[in-house]
Amino acid sequence: MAIFNILVFPGILFLVAAGLWFEFVDRRMYARMQNRQGPPWFQPLADFIKLLAKETIIPEDANPRLFAAMPVLALTATICAFFYIPLWNTTALFSFQGDAIVVMYLLTIPTMTFFLAGWYSTSLYSTLGAVRSLTQLFAYEIPLFMAVLAPAMLANDWSLAGITKFYAAHPLLALLNLPAFCVAMVTLLGKLEKVPFDIPEAETEIVAGAFTEYAGRHLALFRLAIDIEVIVAGSLVAAIFLPFGLTLPWWLGIIIYLLKITLVVALIAIMRTIMARLRIEQMVNFCWKFLAPAALAQLMINLVVKGFLQP
């Protein structure tokens, strides 16, 4: 049963299918809000299969081992993070005290692979994209960590399953974390490199950023890792900030879980529709001047509330 859970549901096969499906949902909503038709439902799958069939080219001056290993590492880290997140109930496939920190660390690895992939491609465009990815990481990662830290501190638990269980039992306290939820949603745009924080992959400036030299199955794996990261990040936000419907029957819980992911994807599509791309220094200033203080204020609020709740 454990092997089935890892490989099929809610494991790798489910993640791949959900990642491709919600890429379609995101692109279709984004297109409709721009008064365009958008792609058909099978377009993400068709793109993935097409990339797998294309020739894989490694630049002459690139490090071939690192060049080929980075997409696999990004995909592996993203999938591993998913196994520690509660989905439609208050338990995760695997859980231990402190897994919230591990999940945040695992979700940092894909960005590091983007940097290494671009850096070792030895292309000017790839190097610029790599540096921008790393610069953004230092900007949004601290507010995102604090946004997750505040609910964990109030729940007095460093396990995602424990945090979810606490807020499922105290739904009113979950509403207290609304500022942290807003910070998390904005920082997710930076982590997923969506507009207005798609600076590392600004096609009008640096072609495809760190992925400029990638093609074939390597690019297919990178794109799949990004699609799956949307599902993992959405599941993390849903588990911490939207702990509702977790005590219902399993089939109804799955439906509510999918609705939560749809809500997160819809919010991402709306935000990237109404905003224009920022410059890299604007992104860094915004994160440190607005998002970090907002996340810190959430920490202070939760500390005060925790003091009143303790006997």
DSSP class per residue in 103-123: HHHHHHHHHHHHHHHHHTTT-
Residue 20: partners with Cβ closer than 8 Å, 6 or more residues away: 44, 45, 48, 224, 227
Confidence band for 294, pLDDT divided at 50, 70 and 90: very high
Which of 82, 79, 84 lies closest to 97 in space, CA to CA? 84
pLDDT of residue 261 exceeding 90, the answer is yes
Confidence band for 311, pLDDT divided at 50, 70 and 90: low
pTM of the model: 0.91
Q: Give me the torsion for CA of 187, 193, 197, 202, rounded to 10°.
A: 170
Two structure tokens written together for 227:
């699609």
Q: CA 264 to CA 293: how far, in whole Å?
A: 23
Encode pLDDT of 220-243 as tens digits.
999 999 999 999 999 999 999 988
Encode pLDDT of 114-161 as tens digits.
989 888 887 888 888 888 888 888 889 999 999 998 999 999 888 999
pLDDT exceeding 70 applies to what percent of the chain? 100
The end-to-end CA distance of the chain, in Å, is: 42
Looking up tokens 């109804």 gives: 252
pLDDT of residue 263 exceeding 90, the answer is yes
Average pLDDT over residues 93-98: 89
Query: Which burial class, exposed, middle or buried, applies to 5 when counting CB atoms under 10 A from its CB (0-12, 13-18, 19+)?
Result: middle
The three-state (H, E, C) secondary structure of 234-262, written as one string: HHHHHHHHCCCCCCCCHHHHHHHHHHHHH
Decide if 130 contacts 114 (C-beta within 8 A): yes
pLDDT of residue 276 exceeding 80, the answer is no
Average pLDDT, the chain: 88
